[in-house]
Each structure stands twice: as structure tokens, then as C-alpha cells.
Amino acid sequence: MCEPMAEISTGWAALVAGAKPIQCTLRLMSMRSTPIGMLLLPIAGALCQTPPDHLLFAAFFGHVSGVELMKKMLAKGDFPATFKDTLPNLQEAIGLTDEEYQTLSEIAADYDAKATLAMKGAPIFEARLQVIDSGKMSPAMIAKLEQIEQRRKGVTMDHIQQLREAFGDIAFQKVDAYVHGPEHVKWQLPAPLLNPK
């Protein structure tokens, strides 16, 4: 039985290879309003399997950053005060102290900045044109996308380690349990540039 999950890409490589979309109930989420999110939106599909840790934590860091951004916008008066009631209280949901949540917010913000930088220059449009034109991507394009994907995964794994070191085992286990809990189906997972292996 497939578990509903947020948008992630089946990858152009799977489509080119003739893979059929997996039939299951999906909970599709909007891509975050970032330039890379807008670029990845057209290739976002869904896989019916539990995502790997690096994708779950990438989505979690993005979720934390998004909540913090909304809090700042509310404080500036960009949204009605009643909107505050719709924001999740992540600190309470995870069971973190004020200091731990502040550390999590800082690591998540740093992750967002570095993940965006890691994706800079991803030739997504060019890859799509190759698929449209010839039915497949060139080996050079696949190698370039794999390199960028590995760079993004490295940024995620580095920030997971930062969180583990900053929190210690007990607090990190709380975060890990939350990340692997049922909430992750609501998060926007980063779309892989190629079909996950």
C-alpha cells in the first residue's frame, strides 16, 4: 500500500525510459515560491515509497525556514493576525526548548541558503529541451545533473550532522522522530533532478 506523500519528481529519466506513474493516492503540495521551486514544479511527480533521510530532512529544513519566514511577515503586518493561528508550533510539536528551537531555526536558514547555492546553475531547462528534442538526455547532461544532485545531498547531510552535534542524542532523536512521523506527508520534498536510484 502506498503512503501518501508530498511532491517529488519521478525524474525525466524514468519518463524517457517509459516508466508508468505509480497509481496511488497522493497529497500534492505547492512548490515553495523560490526560483528553484518554480523551475522544478513542472517535473514534480510522486513516488509511493518513504523518501530517503536526505530528502525528508531537506523538506523539514525548508518547512522550518518557511514557518520562520511567515512569523517574520506576520510581525511586520504583511498578513492578518488571525493567520498566526494557522502556523504550526514546531517547537511544541517536536518538544524542543527555546534554545534548541533557535538552533534548529539557524541551521534550517543556513541549509536553505546553501542548498539554493548548490542548485545554482542547474541546467533544468536545457535538460528538458534535450528530452523533447531527442527523447533522452545526453550522458554529459546526466553526469552534470548527478553532480549537482550529489552536491545538494551533501549540503543536506552536512546540516543533519550539524543538528546532531548541536543537539546531542536525546534532542536529535526527538527531531528525527518528528521528521519520520506522519507530518512529513505535508511537506514539499525537493524534486530529484534525475530518477532516484
- What grid cell was written down for 70? 511567515
Tell me the average pLDDT across 152-174. Answer: 95
State residue 137's pLDDT score. 84
| Residue 94: CB atoms within 10 Å | 21
Residue 2 lies inside a defined structural domain of this protein: no
Residue 94 lies inside a defined structural domain of this protein: yes
Residue 84 lies inside a defined structural domain of this protein: yes
State residue 18's pLDDT score. 36
Q: List the domain range (segments joined by +) for residue 101.
A: 8-186
DSSP per-residue letters across 111-163: HHHHHHHHHTT--HHHHHHHHHHHSS--HHHHHHHHHHHHHHHHHHHHHHHHH
Q: pLDDT tens-digit profile of 112-145?
A: 999 988 888 778 888 888 888 888 888 888 888 8
The distance of Cα 117 from the centroid of its chain, to the nearest Å, equals 14
Residue 139 lies inside a defined structural domain of this protein: yes
The total number of structural domains in the chain stands at: 1
Residue 192 lies inside a defined structural domain of this protein: no
Sign of CA dihedral 15, 18, 19, 24: positive
Asked whether the beta carbons of 159 and 12 are under 8 A apart, the reply is no
State residue 111's pLDDT score. 95
Give whole-number Cα distances, 17 to 11, 73, 103, 181, 195, in Å. Answer: 10, 44, 43, 33, 10
What confidence category does residue 190 fall into, taking pLDDT thresholds of 50, 70 and 90? low
Residue 17, judged by CB atoms within 10 A of its CB (0-12, 13-18, 19+), counts as exposed
Extended strands (E) in the chain: 8-9, 44-45
Residue 130 lies inside a defined structural domain of this protein: yes
Give the number of residues written for the chain.
197
- What grid cell was written down for 4? 501518501
44-45/8-9 β-pairing: antiparallel
Residue 1 lies inside a defined structural domain of this protein: no
pTM (two decimals): 0.68
Residue 191 lies inside a defined structural domain of this protein: no
State residue 195's pLDDT score. 56
Q: pLDDT tens-digit profile of 19-56?
A: 333 322 222 233 334 444 444 444 444 444 677 888 89
pLDDT exceeds 60 at position 147: yes
Per the model's pLDDT, the better-predicted residue between 40 and 176 turns out to be: 176
State residue 192's pLDDT score. 60
Q: pLDDT tens-digit profile of 67-114?
A: 898 888 888 887 777 777 778 889 999 999 999 999 999 999 999 999
